[in-house]
């Protein structure tokens, strides 16, 4: 604790001195969210913040694919990610070469990628989506043949949601999963409902269809937060990474978070120490470098998302 305040002060001083903006995902440690970040949010909000930021440097405290998105939107800026362990089980499950092969085998399909993908995957796809806009964009796409990569569980949820909306789509899937959200199971929800009368169960769309069927509300991290702000319930079970409940417990101390949650080792690999080190002396693994081809291709894919989302 004695070390935290001086580190926060030093980071904030260096941030101004180097004209750096700090973006942090809601899953990272609270001392980063509350001590040093300029913006905290979900993947969609943070990609908008990256686009609108006037700073010369962007320090993206999250995982590598999110920092890559900031670089794609700001190729002239220096973009850094503090942790060396900066993967994601979804983004790491598929490569651009995999998508090229899928496209050869499925020439009639429109390729939709979740934002949790690397730039070389986005460069091969037609449109990108986030957890907050996935259902609406898939519904609005003027095609009925869709290949969705890489999240199989989210893909199964899309198929369910299209059926619920009465929308006919032929949807093929890749078989990636988020190892954090895959952990949750419907039996745990039933148990918690038995223990806490009136509990509201909120789930991220990376959870399995069984979990979503047993939940009261499904949304991105930002949408879950919004739901809580307007809910009259006292008890909540949050089926997403632990960081979101930790953040909401600080912001809504009157609410009660019940049950357990899973940790993302990649998000939690970001610390005040490596944020400070990255500002002072960035190493090769910190800086995001992309080829012009990947920047151009993935920008087209992300712009298609902005087009459908706005």
Q: How far is the CB of 199 from ligand 13P (least distance, A)?
A: 21
Q: Supply 199's token pair.
A: 């509990």
Determine which residue in the list 29, 37, 40, 43 makes contact with ligand 13P, applying CB under 6 A: 43
First to last CA, the chain: 43
In this structure, what DSSP letter does residue 93 have?
G
Binding site for ligand SF4 (CB under 6 A): 63, 88-90, 116, 178-180, 206, 241, 264, 266-267
> Which is nearest to 206 in space by CA: 124, 134, 310?
134
Residue 42 interacts with, from ligand 13P, ligand SF4, none (CB under 5-8 Å by kind): ligand 13P
Looking at the chain, list the stretches that DSSP marks H as alpha helix, in order from N- to C-terminal side. 4-17, 30-35, 43-52, 64-73, 96-105, 119-122, 134-140, 152-165, 186-195, 209-213, 221-230, 242-251, 272-280, 292-309
Q: Which of residues 203-242 bind ligand 13P (CB under 6 A)?
A: 204, 206, 220-221
Is residue 245 a contact point for ligand 13P (CB under 6 A)? no
Q: How far is the CB of 275 from ligand SF4 (least distance, A)?
A: 17
Q: Supply 187's token pair.
A: 């039996």
Determine which residue in the list 24, 42, 61, 96 makes contact with ligand 13P, applying CB under 6 A: 42
> Which is nearest to 268 in space by CA: 242, 294, 290?
242
Q: How many CB atoms lie within 10 A of CB 60?
A: 27
Determine which residue in the list 131, 215, 245, 298 makes contact with ligand 13P, applying CB under 6 A: 131
For ligand 13P, the closer CB: 115 or 279: 115
For ligand SF4, the closer CB: 15 or 64: 64
Residues forming the site for ligand 13P (CB under 6 A): 42-43, 116, 130-131, 178, 204, 206, 220-221
């Amino acid at each position: 604790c004695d070390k935290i305040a001086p580190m926060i002060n030093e980071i904030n001083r260096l941030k101004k001195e180097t004209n750096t903006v700090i973006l942090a995902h809601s899953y990272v440690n609270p001392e980063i969210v509350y001590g040093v970040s300029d913006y905290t949010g979900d993947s969609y909000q943070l990609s908008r913040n990256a686009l609108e930021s006037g700073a010369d440097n962007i320090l993206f405290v999250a995982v590598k694919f999110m920092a890559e998105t900031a670089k794609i939107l700001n190729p002239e800026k220096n973009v850094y990610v503090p942790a060396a362990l900066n993967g994601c089980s979804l983004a790491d499950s598929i490569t651009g070469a995999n998508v090229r092969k899928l496209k050869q085998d499925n020439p009639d399909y429109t390729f939709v990628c979740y934002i949790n993908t690397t730039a070389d995957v986005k460069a091969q796809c037609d449109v990108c989506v986030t957890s907050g806009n996935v259902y609406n964009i898939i519904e609005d796409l003027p095609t009925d043949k869709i290949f969705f990569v890489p999240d199989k569980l989210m893909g199964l949820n899309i198929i369910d949601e299209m059926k619920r909306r009465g929308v006919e789509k032929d949807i093929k899937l890749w078989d990636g999963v988020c190892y954090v959200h895959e952990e949750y199971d419907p039996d745990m929800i039933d148990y918690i409902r038995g223990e806490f009368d009136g509990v509201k169960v909120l789930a991220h769309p990376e959870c399995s269809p069984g979990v979503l069927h047993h939940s009261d509300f499904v949304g991105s991290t930002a949408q879950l937060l919004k739901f809580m702000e307007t809910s009259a319930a006292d008890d909540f079970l949050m089926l997403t990474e632990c960081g979101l409940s930790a953040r909401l417990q600080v912001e809504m101390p009157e609410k009660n978070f019940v049950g357990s949650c899973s940790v993302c080792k990649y998000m939690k690999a970001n610390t005040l120490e490596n944020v400070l080190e990255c500002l002072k002396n960035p190493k090769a693994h910190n800086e995001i470098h992309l080829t012009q081809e990947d920047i151009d291709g993935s920008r087209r894919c992300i712009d298609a998302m902005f087009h459908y989302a706005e």
